[in-house]
Amino acid sequence: MPKRLIILGSTGSIGRKALEVASDFPGEFEIVALSTNCQVGLLAEQAQRFRPKAVCVCAPQAQDAGRAAAEAAGAVFHGGEAGLTELVERYDADMVVVATVGFVGLVPTLRAIALGRTIALANKEVLVTAGELVMEAAKRQKARILPIDSEHNAIFQCLNGHGPRAVRRVILTASGGPFRGSNRERMAAITPDEALRHPTWNMGPKITIDSATLMNKGFEVIEGKYLFDLTADQIEVVVHPQSTIHSMVEYVDGSVIAQLGVTDMYLPIQNVLFYPARVENKFPSLDWAAVGSLTFERPDMEAFPCLKYAYEALQQGGTSPAVLNAANEVAVARFLKGDIAFLRIPEIIRETLDAHKRLEASNLEEIQGADSWARQQAAAI
């Protein structure tokens, strides 16, 4: 029986890779449903090729084109953000790949968990904004959450079933992004084009900017805490420019287990889609002599304050991480539009966090409320 997949966000970098894995292993997967925000042309091609039962297009301006693409591929059309949840609710699947970008992935993920589906999670904002809620629901429903993000997938592999009591700490590796070693003067002049050139990973625009500010690493710290039931103190970030080690686990006995590999998201996606099986793929082995040396340094939290703000939001808990995320989403979108300078991104986040009155985040409404409050706040700064 092929594994039945729903892929939310199939036109983004993770979604496309997931479909590449599926097409490299004929007969292993059935694509049940696909979604895009607004890349209808690519979604139409994917739908022709993989023949899903349904597709969803989220962006209001792309609904008509989406409907036509669905019809051409013989798929049922679902529209808007609500359409993502409809895909999850109406079509049976073994695994839901959540590869959307931003807050939009949260509600469909919670629905998929409520239905007991296995979640292949790439959308980091889901755990950043609602980590406690999501992990509690997963525990209750016995729904597995398998992390696609390379660092968490590495930790997941290194843990190999060990619980938090066996762990002294985890070490999240960071490439440092394109501006590692830059001073503030240099960073004041950074353009969106420069920030979109990542040295080791090829990713979508939002996450690439988050990598340049180190907010991406901050989000990964928050995600790591919830995914693996750790405290913030148990998660250390180390800059490792080669990105060969994807992360490490230090056990209470001092043993450190690291996961290494080629820097291609195909590998963690394959790991999750086939979990727990290990399957041969088209990638060559790492050439150790070519890798040469691996280097490590401490992250510069003064030059890259976003990482510091993420630790702070995690310590505060409640709605603070959701506010951190929303302010960041708005600030990054404004930077990409050319509306603000690169160094304004952390400043807008700082000002939004300072103005925020923290709530417990005990339900979805509180989180959504904090999210929309922070969006308005960050847009007005």
Q: Summarize as ranges the residues that interact with Mg ion (CB under 5 A).
A: 149-151
Q: What is the nearest approach in angstroms of Mg ion to the Cβ of residue 333?
A: 20
Minimum CB distance to Mg ion, residue 341 (Å): 25
327 contacts 374 by C-beta, under 8 angstroms: yes
Closer residue to Mg ion in complex, CB, 149/371:
149
Listed residue (57, 349, 101, 340) closest to 208, CA to CA: 101
User: Which residues are registered as beta bridge partners of 35?
Assistant: 56
- Residue identified by tokens 């700490």 is 169
In the bound state with Mg ion, the residue whose beta carbon lies nearer, of 43 and 267, is 267
Residue 69 beta carbon to Mg ion: minimum distance, rounded to whole angstroms: 31
User: Which value, to the nearest 10 degrees, does the dihedral of the CA atoms of residues 260, 249, 124, 246 take?
Assistant: -20
Q: Residue 151 Cβ, how far from Mg ion at the closest point, in Å?
A: 5
Of 295, 306, 299, 370, the residue nearest 335 (C-alpha): 306
Residue among 201 and 274 whose Cβ is closer to Mg ion:
201
Are 56 and 83 contacting, i.e. CB atoms less than 8 angstroms apart?
yes
Given strand 118-121, what is the order of strands in its sheet?
76-79, 54-57, 29-36, 3-8, 95-98, 118-121, 145-147
Of 66 and 177, the one with the shorter C-beta distance to Mg ion is 177
Place of tokens 């359409």: 83
Residue 56 β-bridge partners: 35, 78
What residue is closest to Mg ion based on CB? 149
| Least separation in angstroms between CB 269 and Mg ion | 12
Q: How far is the CB of 270 from Mg ion (least distance, A)?
A: 16
User: Among residues 55 and 155, whose Cβ is nearest to Mg ion?
Assistant: 155
Indicate the residue among 107 and 154 with the shorter CB distance to Mg ion: 154
Question: What is the rounded radius of gyration, in angstroms, for the C-alpha atoms of the chain?
Answer: 20
For 273, other C-beta atoms within 10 Å of its C-beta total 22
Nearer to Mg ion, 31 or 122 (CB): 122
- Minimum CB separation from Mg ion for residue 112, in Å? 22
* Of residues 191, 194, 4, the one with CA closest to residue 96: 4
Residue among 137 and 307 whose Cβ is closer to Mg ion = 307
H or E segment to which residue 182 belongs? none
Residue recorded with tokens 């739908």: 47
Provide the minimum distance between the beta carbon of 375 and Mg ion in the complex, in angstroms, as a whole number.
24
